[in-house]
Each structure stands twice: as C-alpha cells, then as structure tokens.
Amino acid sequence: MENNLSRHDLFVNWEAMTPGKYKQKAKGLVIEYGFHPTPLGECFIALTDRGLCQLSFVDGVQHKETLDNFRELWRNAELKINQARTKKYVGQIFGPKPNKAGLPINLFCRGTAFQIKVWEALLKIPAGRVVSYKTIARMIGRPKAARAVGGAVGRNPIAYLIPCHRVIRELGAIGGYRWGIDRKRAILAREAVGYHG
C-alpha cells in the first residue's frame, strides 16, 4: 500500500507492510539507527533503504531497552548504528527550516491491516487540527471501532510524522499519548503557532 501525502512543508511517501508481507520481504533487511536530541526530547530513529521505519521519543529510557524492543519487532533484520545518516533525517524533520524543496520523507511501516488504515487516516489530519478517536473510526469506515482505533493510534511506530498527537477524546480532553502528555501538548502548541516542521 503506497500513498503520497503532503504534511505541509514535509512531503511523506508512505509504504505499509502487513505481517504476512513482512515475513516474505523483510528477511535480510538492513536497518540503520541512531539516537539524537530534538526540540521535543531525545529520539530514536531507524531507516531502511525503503524508508524510515521507526521514530520514537526515548528520553529517560535506556538505549539498550529501546534497541531490544525494536529488535523484537524486526527480528529478521540486521541492525547497524549510523548516527551520520540518521542525523540528516532528524535535521530534515525537526530543523528550524522545514524542508521546502519538496523532497519526500519515505515511511516504511509494518502493522496489521487495521492499524495501517488508522495510520493512513492520521496522515490526513491537517497540522493545527485535532480529531476524536470516533472521527478516525468513521474515516476508516468502522464507526463503532473507536476503542480499537485508540489501540492502533497507541501503536503508531513513527511519532510526529504520523500525527497520533492530533487525536483527542470525544469531549475535547487531550487524552493519553505514548510519548507523554506534556510532549503531546508541546507538539500541538508548536502546530498552533504555525510551526509544521
């Protein structure tokens, strides 16, 4: 499943892979990773030749624990640290001048068919806007699946670029966030003042 979506100044090319396809195609996959500071806290970022497959915030978490959890998800892959390569991506995503050249950031996600639908819906939420879990459920044609949507949102592997921070509870409460409620508020505040990079 592939899509090209504009996230304001950042263009995202999106390719998703179900667990069945992962078993067929991911054997021998090389993933390069790094840990870097960002304006929103330390991040872990991982890249394949097909695109970015993980972006998460890890401040306060041991690097070894982060790597062990990531390795469990990508068992067939070979992991290599490459701080130089991953730093370029972090600069493109979080730098003071968002990418204006139209160069895409390729995302390569692995999830169930339902999770992939939810993440694709998240990519359609404009910066500066928030929607409810119920709205996402309607967007994917599963209006009674708001709770399941919440589970899929919580398993989003690519923080910030797949904007799970833009989902709130039905009554307007900010709700939880995998990488901390204070960070969710900070991201929403940045977007509210027009910073979309």
Higher pLDDT, 88 or 23: 88
- Residues 143 and 156: their CA atoms lie apart, in Å, by 20
pLDDT at 11 over 70: no
pLDDT at 81 over 80: yes
Q: What is the pLDDT of residue 103?
A: 64
Asked: is 2-108 a CATH 3.40.50.720 domain? The reply is: no
- Residues 169 and 96: their CA atoms lie apart, in Å, by 31
Q: State the span(s) of the chain assigned CATH 3.30.160.70.
A: 2-108
pLDDT at 9 over 60: no
Helix (H, G, I), strand (E, B) or coil at 182: helix
pLDDT at 14 over 70: yes
78 bridge partner residues:
30
User: What average pLDDT does the segment 131-149 reach?
Assistant: 95
* CATH code linked to domain 112-192: 1.10.10.10
Q: What is the pLDDT of residue 192?
A: 82
Q: How many C-beta neighbours within 10 Å does residue 185 have?
A: 13
Which element (helix H / strand E) includes 81? strand 78-81
pLDDT at 52 over 50: yes
Helix (H, G, I), strand (E, B) or coil at 48: strand
17 bridge partner residues:
110
pLDDT at 51 over 50: yes
User: What average pLDDT does the segment 115-132 reach?
Assistant: 91
Helix ranges (H only) for the chain are: 19-25, 63-73, 83-94, 113-122, 133-139, 146-154, 181-192
Largest Cα–Cα distance of the chain, in whole Å?
A: 46
* Confidence tier at 10 by pLDDT (50, 70, 90): low
Q: State the span(s) of the chain assigned CATH 1.10.10.10.
A: 112-192
Q: What is the pLDDT of residue 195?
A: 58
Which element (helix H / strand E) includes 109? strand 104-110
Which one, of 142, 138, 113, lies nearest residue 21 by Cα? 113
User: What average pLDDT does the segment 51-74 reach?
Assistant: 92
The catalytic residue positions are: 164
**What is the pLDDT of the chain when averaged over all its residues?**
84
Which residues neighbour 30 within 8 Å (Cβ) at sequence distance 6 or greater?
A: 48, 49, 77, 78, 80
Higher pLDDT, 150 or 173: 150
